[in-house]
Every structure is written in structure tokens, then in C-alpha cells.
Amino acid sequence: MAATLLGKEESRKSGLWRNLRDDIHCVFERDPAARNTLEVLTTYPGVHALLAHRVAHRCWQRGWRYPARVLSAVARFSTGIDIHPGAQIGRRFFIDHGMGVVIGETAEIGDDCTIYHGVTLGGTSWNPGKRHPTLQDRVMVGAGAKILGPVTIGHDGQVGANAVVINDVAPGMTVVGIPGRVVLPAERRRINAHGIDLDHHLMPDPVGKAIQCLMERISQLELQAQSVGRTAQLTEKDCNSCPDSDPNLCGPNSNPAL
């Protein structure tokens, strides 16, 4: 029995260190500014917040709720990243820049996810049950995006900067706008060697496209109106040149085309 408990404890510790090692290693895959492990470990607030959360979450699972909340508060004060100790976060999670990130208590995040500063995974209910989003594996959330409620972002999904998502998103889809709208399927995205799409600056602009279509339609209508105006002017000129002695030609019932 003692040997079994010791084995479980060693497995738990190795899991924590393995997660920490993976969290540091994934920074080099997703941030070209990262130069060495010491720099990442000492200067990246996202790594600091995630390390604190790994420990706080274990405390939370053991029922040590107050110490977990204190550790979470200290991490928020020092990094500007607010992660509730009850949130479940998978491996190789990367928070780039990090300031203003909020992750709620019942949020669930899969493996290989990336989020940027200002992202909120927030709740929309006073009920104590599931009320925060779920991000499946390899989801990327752009800066300032808000994902609200117990919605699910499918694996390999992408949320554009400043989008507000309040509905489920199918796997592999790209969502932009307020409220969020699907604009790009997975097969049209560019995936790098690590299986991650970081080209979130190349997302379509559905609002801009709609405005462009309206402008083109207005131009067509203006050309049509100008054409009708020229025809009317020619008709009036022809009628004014008609002889007064021929009322059938230029009268009210006349047909200028004849």
C-alpha cells in the first residue's frame, strides 16, 4: 500500500514538472521573441501565471480552497492575469503578453491552446454549475476576444481579435465580429509545422466586405440613374423641337420613340 501511494505521489510530481517543461517549451514554438529558457522562465508573465495556476489548481482539487485563492490572487497581482484555481487547463497552454486575461472557475481548456492579452473566458449565469467556456485542443483566441457562457469552441478553432462569442463553434472554424460569425473553414487556413495557425491577422472582414458590396451596388445604381436622366433630357429636347402644328407627334399621348 505504501509503495502504491509513493508511486502515485511520484507520478503526480512528475506530471507537474512535465507540464511545466511543456509550458516553457511551447513558448519557443509560438513566440519568435523567445531566446532561451532562462528568459522565458523569468520574464514571461504568462508562464508565471500558468505555473501558479498549476499549483493552485492542485490545492483546489485537494479541498484547500483558501490557499488556492490566495495563490491565484498573488499571481493576478504580479502578472495581470486572473485564472481561477478551479479552471481546468491542459498541456502546452500559452498566454502571450497576458495582461487582462480572465479565465473563470468552470472554464476548460484543452491541449496546445493559445490566447492573447485581454481575452475573457467569462460566465453568463449565477448558477454554480458549468457557466464558463470550453476550448478544445489547438484553439487560438485573438487579443481582446470575449467568449461568454458555457459554449464550446471546437478543436482547431480560431477566434478573431475583439470578437464576442456566445454560441458554440464547430471544429476548425474561424469566428470574427460582434456577435461572432463563422467566416473561414479550417481547410482554408495555413497551419505551421507545429500544427498551429498563428496567422490571426489574415482573417476575413465580413463587415468590410458587406460595405464594399453596398458601395459597388450604389455605383451601379448611380450609373443607371444617370443613364435614365440622359434619356429623359433627350426626349424633352426632341419634343421641344417638334412643330406646333403636329399635336399627334408631341402631344401627351405621343411616343417619342416613333
CA–CA dist 112, 129 (Å, integer):
26
User: Which one is predicted more confidently, 30 or 77?
Assistant: 77
Arithmetic mean of pLDDT, 7-22: 61
- Measure the CA–CA gap between 117 and 119, rounded to whole angstroms: 6
Higher pLDDT, 159 or 197: 159
Can you give the pLDDT at residue 5?
33
Q: Residue 183 pLDDT more than 50?
A: yes
pTM score of the predicted model: 0.68
162: Cα within 13 Å, side-chain hemisphere: 5
Sheet strands side by side (includes 120-122): 82-83, 102-103, 120-122, 146-148, 164-165
pLDDT tens digits, one per residue of 69-107 = 999 999 999 999 999 999 999 889 999 888 999 999 999
Please report the pLDDT score of residue 152 as a whole number: 92
**Which has the higher per-residue pLDDT, 151 or 238?**
151
More confident residue, 103 or 34: 103
Q: What is the pLDDT of residues 233-248, one digit of tens each?
A: 656 555 555 555 555 5
Confidence band (pLDDT; 50, 70, 90) for 3?
A: very low
pLDDT at residue 13 is higher than 50: no
Residue that wins the pLDDT comparison between 246 and 232: 232
How confident is residue 203, by pLDDT bands cut at 50, 70 and 90?
low
pLDDT at 124: 85
CA–CA–CA angle 211, 214, 220 (5° rounding): 145
pLDDT at 191 over 70: no
155-180 pLDDT, tens digit each: 888 998 899 999 999 888 888 888 87
- pLDDT score of 11: 41
Q: How many CA atoms lie within 13 A of 58 on its CB side?
A: 12
| Domain residue extents for the chain | 2-208
Confidence of residue 121 (pLDDT cuts 50, 70, 90): very high
- Give mean pLDDT, residues 137-154: 92
| CA pair distance 219, 170, nearest whole angstrom | 37
- Under the banding of pLDDT at 50, 70 and 90, the label for residue 9 is very low
Round the CA-based radius of gyration of the chain to a whole number and report it. 30
Q: Does domain 2-208 have CATH number 2.160.10.10?
A: yes
Average pLDDT (116-140) is 90
Average pLDDT over residues 13-21: 72
Higher pLDDT among residues 24 and 247, named by residue:
24
